[in-house]
Structure 1
């Protein structure tokens, strides 16, 4: 049985500087998909070959608490610094995960990938809500380069599937998880199809970052966000006859604790939100060392 689509929407613009940002989650219908409480799509931007590189200089530094951020770099180079002393660059096809825990300040920039001739930057950023006990843990950071992302080829030369978070079959991401969750990236060559079975109770969304696709027999445009029912069933994905498709599937089991979100903090109570702000203003999240290697 095919899963039913509850609604389909386009994200709303929430640009940051020159970056074209579409905010997909939260939206007017749902505040979360499993533990995922936020999703921004940094749409593809083609940069001039001689364009000056953007540096992480403190102008974009901001705090987080109570969540993990997960950035999937579809194209480009993501440069990350944080107040726990982490510094890393992640390139096209890779991902980076940062657990804010009790509080952290981070700063990042996007540039074209110097290892390719592709002058495009393109990324997805998720906020993953942490269980209350994990909100009280120390910050962590895990970079995952493209060659470390689990991937399998689909049958009949249909394309491939990557596991960005969670697991599928024998594939398991290096990115830590605390609740049952997943992010899959399915690439279908032109005129191909693939189906996934989803267990009962899983909250599930699909996002089309680049091209049109047919999902459970209905065609949807680029940029579409689809939210499904929680019955057990299949997701049947097809690309158009003349165009490949990229499909992001993500979700997980329902987050049962209260969710109180304000600014960059996601906690379980308003009192905890107050503590998060007070600790930040008191300097308890530390400072970023931009000379870190």
Structure 2
């Protein structure tokens, strides 16, 4: 079994009236190559006639955003011409590539009625060879994501990308990034082989788990060493886990605001291209 290097508590980082916990980066861990960033929004309940999510138009280049909607919804729009409203259990996978502008706000219906909201956004790096690819966007509702029932139904894997227990995920990413959300009923067990050279991304969204002999709980990011090829997970409560794994790119990472590149010159070029309108023109 892999040994655990550390457990990192997500840090409170509210954005306006949006409850937010930053799991990555923190003072303790900058990134888990190629996983760059994770914000956990909520859980909270919005009143009727609310302002919704505060993420108006903003640019990105050089990485991908993967958004998991547990409760509530997100209305997406970008300068690539993509639009969608994704509800509970759905995901959004946006490849920023060479650059685009997008907005992630709440639907008019959610702003009118309110209700529970819980959303996670993960940033995944792109390898240097793919940083300037054409942007793309995939928005999927919950029924479009394959799920796999394990341990007599006590564990349900929602296969977002890669392969899970022989089932292909809904998204085929540019790099070999495997991602899933996993629902556990108390007592459920998951035994998963992951080659030792791959980075494991293990974030507990809800509940308590025991992984490779150590207990962990909600809003904990578990960092593993590269010294074993098996994860053994047991649910101490009903729980929800965000689990991923990938080969590290082992390339320089230079992040500045909404851009993630390999060199300072590439960051300067990103700002110049954005200001020159090369990310597209925003239209309401």
Q: TM-score, normalised by structure 1?
A: 0.89
- 2:271 corresponds in structure 1 to 277
Query: 1:233: Cα distance to partner?
Result: 2.6
Q: Which moved more, 1:79-88 or 1:191-200?
A: 191-200
3-state SS, counterpart of residue 205 of structure 2: coil
- 1:137 corresponds in structure 2 to 133
Structure 1 CA distance for aligned equivalents of residues 70 and 155 of structure 2:
16
**CA root-mean-square deviation:** 2.2
Would you say 1:186 and 2:182 are equivalent positions? yes
Structure 2 CA distance for aligned equivalents of residues 174 and 158 of structure 1:
22
The 5 A counterparts of 1:50-199 are 51-54=48-51, 60-110=56-106, 119-199=115-195
Q: Quick check: 2:33–2:250 contact (8 Å CA) kept in 1?
A: no
Would you say 1:266 and 2:260 are equivalent positions? yes
Q: Quick check: 1:74–1:122 contact (8 Å CA) kept in 2?
A: yes
Structure 1 CA distance for aligned equivalents of residues 106 and 220 of structure 2:
24
Q: Quick check: 1:207–1:248 contact (8 Å CA) kept in 2?
A: yes
3-state SS, counterpart of residue 271 of structure 1: helix
Would you say 1:253 and 2:250 are equivalent positions? no
- 1:183-206 deviation per Cα after TM superposition (whole angstroms, max 9, x unaligned): 122211122222212112011131
Q: 1:285 to 1:252 in 2, by over 3 A?
A: same
3-state SS, counterpart of residue 200 of structure 1: coil
Q: Quick check: 1:82–1:105 contact (8 Å CA) kept in 2?
A: yes
Structure 2 CA distance for aligned equivalents of residues 211 and 280 of structure 1:
42
Q: Quick check: 1:33–1:251 contact (8 Å CA) kept in 2?
A: no
Structure 1 CA distance for aligned equivalents of residues 107 and 208 of structure 2:
26
Structure 1 CA distance for aligned equivalents of residues 115 and 148 of structure 2:
27
- 1:168-225 deviation per Cα after TM superposition (whole angstroms, max 9, x unaligned): 2432223232222211222111222222121120111311111122222222222111
Q: Quick check: 1:208–1:224 contact (8 Å CA) kept in 2?
A: yes
3-state SS, counterpart of residue 209 of structure 1: strand
- Structure 2: state its 5+ residue gaps: none
Query: 1:229: Cα distance to partner?
Result: 1.0
Q: Which moved more, 1:9-18 or 1:65-74?
A: 9-18
Structure 2 CA distance for aligned equivalents of residues 59 and 197 of structure 1:
37
Q: Quick check: 1:197–1:232 contact (8 Å CA) kept in 2?
A: no
- Structure 1: state its 5+ residue gaps: none
- 1:228 corresponds in structure 2 to 224
- 1:13 corresponds in structure 2 to 12
Structure 2 CA distance for aligned equivalents of residues 182 and 167 of structure 1:
7
Q: Quick check: 2:35–2:122 contact (8 Å CA) kept in 1?
A: yes
Aligned length: 282
Query: 1:111: Cα distance to partner?
Result: 5.9
Q: 1:118 to 1:249 in 2, by over 3 A?
A: farther
